[in-house]
């Protein structure tokens, strides 16, 4: 039987408009650090919905992944020098 939590809570707005969802809510909803959620504004209400990763229209990459992409995308020095010489000689 799922744990039922309180449906109402006062939250403090922090720097850059951030709020912290109560831990029992995050646990019940399966929210984890780094998850992407969808927020909708309806009148004076904000609704936060969980989204399944496969339904997102994009993927978020970690800094480690981005560094690896850049490393993998670099040309070997010999080839890079040849290209630089051709560009300069044109």
Q: Which two tokens stand for residue 8?
A: 């109402």
Per-residue pLDDT, 14 = 92
Give 41's strand partners. Answer: 46
CB 19 within 8 A of CB 37: no
Report if residue 75 sits inside a domain: yes
Domain boundaries, position 47: 15-89
**Structural domain total, the chain:** 1
- Looking up residue 82, the CATH number of its domain turns out to be 2.10.260
Nearest to 65 by CA among 73, 57, 75, 76: 73
Please calculate the CA angle 23-27-58 and round it to the nearest 5 degrees. Answer: 105
Q: Identify the pLDDT of residue 50.
A: 80
Mean pLDDT of 67-89: 88
Instruction: Map tokens 């300069």 to a residue.
Output: 88
E strands present in the chain: 37-42, 45-50
Residue 5 within any structural domain of the chain: no
* pLDDT tens sequence across 22-71: 999 999 888 888 888 888 999 999 988 886 655 656 777 899 999 999 99
């Amino acid at each position: 039987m799922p744990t039922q939590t309180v449906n109402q809570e006062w939250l403090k707005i922090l720097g850059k408009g951030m709020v912290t969802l109560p831990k029992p809510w995050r646990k019940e909803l399966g929210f984890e650090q780094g998850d992407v959620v969808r927020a909708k504004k309806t009148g004076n209400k904000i609704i936060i919905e969980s989204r399944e990763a496969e339904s997102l229209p994009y993927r978020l990459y970690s800094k480690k992944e981005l560094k690896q992409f850049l490393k993998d995308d670099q040309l070997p020095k010999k080839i890079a020098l040849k290209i630089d010489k051709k560009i300069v000689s044109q």
